[in-house]
Amino acid sequence: MQAFQQLVFSGVQPTGNLHLGNYLGAITKFVALQDTHDCIYCVVDLHAITVAQKPSELTSNIREVTAAFIAAGIDPKKHIVFNQSQVAEHAELAWIFNCVARIGWLNRMTQFKEKAGKDRENASVGLYAYPTLMAADILVYRATHVPVGEDQKQHLELARDIAQKFNNDFLADNPAYADGKGFFPLPEPLIQGPATRVMSLRDGSKKMSKSDPSDNSRINLADDADTIAQKIRKAKTDPDALPSALDGLAGRPEADNLVGIYAALEDKTKLDILQQFGGGNFSTFKSALVDLTVAKLAPIGGEMRRLQADHAYIDSVLRDGANRARERAGATMSAVRDIVGFVR
Ligand code: TYM
């Protein structure tokens, strides 16, 4: 039913410690989609402040994510790279979506429950409304495709529900939209490949995360070759040999995770990797994984550090991206204001 022009949108929070999960689950997909789609990639600083951030660290983290995008291969001239707070339309549409989304919908969001923890009364209102801002990020450009890791699936479903309810609530009696196509598309999540949920290197039942207190749980994009090697050598495994078939990974989360990482870095399937390493021990496999990870990540880390230090360049990329993003977001918001019935 969708006759919307295809457009890719995604975002990454500038909360420090960008890691291999962010890279394989999201950033490599961002890079690949540039060849086939018009893409907008956003450093979501308004989302970052839903939990406390030190202002000076936030500034540096915004530049870090921008540098990582470019170092990984995103072209900010052909596509759009910017930080969310420079385009006020995100917050404006989020407010309207706060009035469309139902409290019951937000109460079901598992990420809020995880992040707020036991002290829910003390969580910010922003953390609770996080998913409506995320829906606004996507829909203010009327984006159709959203590459993300597995953990964002529920938020994407909510964005679709909000788009659908907005279309239902506001367009039913509007002759300009009598064709039934709707104003907002229902954005599709793109969650594919062997590394949509990269797990902690210390505990295969926990997601690799920026906020894990153990730095050994994750490989940071900024890690140098020695640190990457050390972390992989120390990664938790089990005493058995690697299996040769996929069902042999069942009940072995650490083995499954390392095989998934290898497959994603090589752009192959887990089965390909098991056919290569099945029957062998972990130390041989880990040595190959160290070589592969260092070959892929160390150059990105080096380039990222170089770019990140060039504030004038990074800030000019973000300003230019924001100017182009604002133009598109402004056009959507003009139409939204008319649809809702505001006088302007
Ligand atoms: P954030 O900053 O937590 O993560 C950025 C991207 O990395 C993915 N990711 C992972 N993928 C695989 N394995 C992991 N361990 C892992 N950890 C993180 C995330 O799924 C995400 O794709 N809410 C978003 C940011 C956002 C956004 C948006 C995304 C704000 N507005 C609009 C898409 C569209 C987030 O917290 O990302």
Give pLDDT tens digits for 267-291.
Answer: 999 999 999 999 999 999 999 999 9
DSSP 30-45: HHHHTTTS-EEEEE-H
Same domain, 100 and 155: yes
Instruction: Look at ligand 1, atom 16, and give the residue with the nearest C-alpha.
Output: 21
Residue 294 pLDDT exceeds 60: yes
Which residue out of 40, 148, 154 has the highest number of ligand 1 atoms within 8 Å of its CB and is therefore the one to mutate?
A: 148
- For residue 204, tell me if it sits in a domain: no
Catalytic residue set: 115, 207, 210
- For residue 129, tell me if it sits in a domain: yes
- For residue 114, tell me if it sits in a domain: yes
DSSP element (H, E) containing 251? none
Measured over the CA atoms of residue 41, residue 47, residue 51 and residue 54, the dihedral's sign is: positive
pLDDT at 344: 86
- For residue 209, tell me if it sits in a domain: no
Alpha carbons 210 and 201: distance in angstroms, whole number = 13
Same domain, 231 and 150: no
pLDDT category at 159 given cuts 50, 70, 90 is very high
Instruction: Look at ligand 1, atom 27, and give the residue with the nearest C-alpha.
Output: 11
Alpha carbons 275 and 249: distance in angstroms, whole number = 13
pLDDT at 181: 87
DSSP element (H, E) containing 12? strand 8-12
Q: Domain residues for 243?
A: 215-306
Residue 138 pLDDT exceeds 80: yes
- Cα distances from 293 to residues 141, 192, 225, 266, in angstroms, run 35, 20, 9, 9
pLDDT at 3: 74
pLDDT at 1: 45
Atom of ligand 1 nearest to the CA of 152: 20
Regarding the beta carbon of 109 and ligand 1, being less than 6 Å apart is answered no
Same domain, 181 and 53: yes
pLDDT at 249: 97
**CB–CB of 140/205 below 8 Å?**
no
CATH classification of the domain holding 238: 1.10.240.10
Report pLDDT digits (tens) over 211-247. Answer: 999 999 999 999 999 999 999 999 999 999 999 999 9
Same domain, 135 and 242: no
Question: For all residues of the chain together, what is the average pLDDT?
Answer: 97
Instruction: Look at ligand 1, atom 7, and give the residue with the nearest C-alpha.
Output: 22
For residue 108, the CA-to-ligand 1 centroid distance in Å is 18
How much is the average pLDDT of 253-263? 98
Instruction: Look at ligand 1, atom 29, and give the residue with the nearest C-alpha.
Output: 11
Same domain, 190 and 51: yes
Same domain, 153 and 240: no
pTM, 2 dp: 0.97
Q: Which residue has the higher pLDDT, 173 or 88?
A: 88
Which residue out of 31, 44, 138 has the highest number of ligand 1 atoms within 8 Å of its CB and is therefore the one to mutate?
A: 44
For residue 26, the CA-to-ligand 1 centroid distance in Å is 7
Atom of ligand 1 nearest to the CA of 195: 12
pLDDT at 171: 95
Atom of ligand 1 nearest to the CA of 207: 15
DSSP 142-172: T--EEE--GGGHHHHHHHHHHHHHHHHHHHT
Same domain, 234 and 326: no
Same domain, 45 and 122: yes
Same domain, 24 and 86: yes
Number of domains in the chain: 2
Same domain, 115 and 254: no
pLDDT at 180: 86
Residue 2 pLDDT exceeds 60: no
Regarding the beta carbon of 159 and ligand 1, being less than 6 Å apart is answered no
Same domain, 166 and 22: yes
Instruction: Look at ligand 1, atom 19, and give the residue with the nearest C-alpha.
Output: 149
Alpha carbons 204 and 335: distance in angstroms, whole number = 47
Residue 261 pLDDT exceeds 50: yes
**CB–CB of 106/155 below 8 Å?**
no
Torsion of CA 126, 88, 146, 142, to 10 degrees: 130
Same domain, 162 and 28: yes
CATH classification of the domain holding 59: 3.40.50.620
- For residue 1, tell me if it sits in a domain: no
For residue 320, the CA-to-ligand 1 centroid distance in Å is 24
Report the candidate in 75, 132, 149, 49 with the shortest Cα–Cα distance to residue 98. Answer: 132
